[in-house]
Amino acid sequence: MEPTDIKSQSLEELKKTVEALGEKPFRAKQLYEWMHVKLAKSFEEMTNLSMTFRGKLKESCILTTLTALDVQTSKIDGTQKYLFALHDGNVVESVLMRYKHGNSVCISSQVGCKMGCRFCASTIGGWTRNLTPAEMLEQVYRIQETSGERVSNVVVMGTGEPLDNYDTLLRFIHMISDENGLHISQRNITVSTCGLVPKMEALADEKLQITLALSLHASSQEKREALMPIAKKYTITQVLNACRNYYEKTGRRITFEYALVGGENDSQEDARRLAQLLKGLNCHVNLIPVNPIKERSYVRSDKKVIGNFQNKLEKYQINVTIRREMGRDIDGACGQLRKSYIDKKEDS
């Protein structure tokens, strides 16, 4: 029989597991606390559980724990990039960003990605597998434990398309915001998607309080298709309608991510079209100067061009900010630390 992945279980499910092992249900609460509040890495640490119980847990359950293979710290702003090893030899990347309002952790949801966005390093080797809820939680837990600082915000924007691992994502959101766990407010959780429309609609029906961030990156269907293959499946109109629906059902303002690629999507005409597309939608636009990756020929937009783009949007009363770049000196863009690690391993 497959060992039970207890760190992915809700408290209710854990009660059943504990009972099946012949223990009283209240033990589940203690076990849950060890895993999700005290962030224990082994059963040995769980000293208020009997030796017999711990023995049974060891025999029939796994306690998913990620190990940091590498931690890089930015000399510019203290941002830290973590490369975590999974039990099957795969690796994932997570980032800790320190802001005045608190610590934010950006986590991965899959090993690799199927979506093929042209400017992204995470998709170059394709998709390997989905992460489990425990593997998503662990990225936050290990960073909180290693840094010794409380994580107040979580962004699911690392490697992978979170809505392509939908059930796991939902479980992750419920568990990380659970008052019996780290209890991070749903309002401090952001999930980024490249625009999987049916899943966006399903998510709206969940009526969560999380922020949905849509990777838009273009102001027309044609340009979006050139940057993001998924745009061929779900048109820009469908994606924006799904955003409107999300706002109507949850009351949560939508964030639009717009990676500025020099000469591709950064003209004044692009800005005007973008403003037109977003008219009347309660939203915020995040402009991201794209990080060049060596496998692609994309270049970063000029500083002046970025400023002009922002000004144009503001003229149309669109809320817009240029995303502050964090940790540029440490394998900049998302997925690059993992990719450098895999490349090095293949070379050796």
Cα(154)–Cα(241) distance, integer angstroms: 26
State the Cα–Cα distance between residues 75 and 293, nearest whole angstrom.
21
217 among annotated binding-site residues: yes
What is the C-alpha separation between 30 and 48, in angstroms, rounded? 8
The response to whether 215 counts as a known ligand-binding position is yes
User: Min. distance of Cβ 111 from ligand SF4 in angstroms?
Assistant: 11
Give the C-alpha distances (Å, rounded to integers) separating 56 from 75, 87, 159: 46, 21, 35
Q: Which residues, 6 or more positions from 225, have their beta carbon under 8 angstroms from its beta carbon?
A: 231, 232
243 appears as a binding residue in the annotation? no
Q: Rounded to the nearest 5 degrees, what angle is found at the Cα of 259, between the Cα atoms of 276 and 159?
A: 130
SS3 (DSSP) at 292: coil
Which is nearer to ligand SF4, 66 or 117 (by Cβ)?
117
CA dihedral 210, 215, 219, 223 (to 10 degrees): -160
State the nearest-atom distance from the C-beta of 143 to ligand SF4, in Å.
Answer: 19
Q: Is 334 a catalytic residue?
A: yes
Report whether 192 belongs to an annotated binding site. yes
Catalytic residue among 23, 93, 135, 264: 93
Name the catalytic one among 194, 243, 283, 334.
334
Residue 53 Cβ, how far from ligand SF4 at the closest point, in Å? 41
Nearer to ligand SF4, 35 or 293 (CB): 293
- In the complex, what is the shortest distance from the CB of residue 327 to ligand SF4, in angstroms, rounded to a whole number? 17
Element (H, E) at 4: strand 4-5
Question: Hunting for tokens 């994932």 — which residue is that?
Answer: 92
**Which is nearer to ligand SF4, 11 or 229 (by Cβ)?**
229
Residue 291 marked in a binding site = yes
CB of 298 to ligand SF4, least distance (A): 13
Q: Smaller CB distance to ligand SF4: residue 117 or 306?
A: 117
Summarize as ranges the residues that interact with ligand SF4 (CB under 6 A): 113, 115-117, 120, 122-123, 159-161, 194
Active site residue 283: no
- The response to whether 113 counts as a known ligand-binding position is yes
Which residues, other chains included, contact 152 with Cβ-Cβ below 8 Å and sequence gap of 6+?
Answer: 101, 102, 103, 104, 184, 188
Neighbours of 107 (CB within 10 A): 28
Q: Which is nearer to ligand SF4, 112 or 181 (CB)?
A: 112
Active site (catalytic) residues: 93, 334
Residue numbers belonging to the annotated binding site for S-adenosyl-L-methionine: 160-161, 192, 215-217, 291
Residue numbers belonging to the annotated binding site for [4Fe-4S] cluster: 113, 117, 120
Residue numbers belonging to the annotated binding site: 113, 117, 120, 160-161, 192, 215-217, 291
